[in-house]
Amino acid sequence: MDMDNLRKQAVSALHALDVPEELTLASLRQLLEEDRGKEIVVREVKHLGRDQVSGLWFSLPDTDLILHAETASALHREQIILHEFAHMALNHERLMGSEEHLASLLPDLSPAMVSRCLARCKRQSEPEIVAESLADLFASALARTRRAGRVEPGNFRGVFG
């Protein structure tokens, strides 16, 4: 696995999305909605996260649905959402046509079942590494905005579930 190449993929995706200098979670969501042409709905799910899966992304015809685990930490919750946003920005729903990729995600389930969502458990797969790298780039941009005093509205749960 060429880690430099994977990191370059994440950087390319960030530039392709044309992320503004002042980035907030809400503005990133809006940017992705415009790019993908559909609404993104984010909801917390109580019992998610008890195993390896802390976030799920369902690419539905008219909506992108993100379900995330309940967390005590706002930063952890944000990173889960950023990771799912990264999968969207990377167009990872197209990977669902690959039988090999499907089998690597949840080997005990049929590929048809797995393709209904992008629940990624194999954290060391190339798509997961690229998505986490892009999520880290998003997080860095959010942190720069916060340090500059342009803080997001305090209603995180109201906006993102």
Amino acid residing at 120: R
What is the separation, in whole angstroms, between the first and last Cα of the chain?
A: 36
Residue 132 lies in a domain: yes
In a domain, 80, yes or no: yes
Mean pLDDT of 55-76: 88
pTM recorded for the entire structure = 0.77
Res 97: pLDDT: 47
- Asked whether 63 and 39 are in contact (CB, 8 A), the reply is yes
Task: For 82-92, write each residue's pLDDT tens digit.
Answer: 999 999 999 88
pLDDT digits (tens, 9 = 90+) for 97-149: 445 554 555 555 555 544 544 444 455 788 889 999 999 999 999 999 998 88
Residue 48: predicted pLDDT: 74
Whole-Å CA distances, 134 to 15, 47, 89, 149: 11, 26, 9, 23
Residue 30 makes CB contacts below 8 A (sequence gap 6+) with none
| Host domain of residue 27 | 3-148
Q: What is the count of structural domains for the chain?
A: 1
Quote the tokens at residue 42: 């984010």
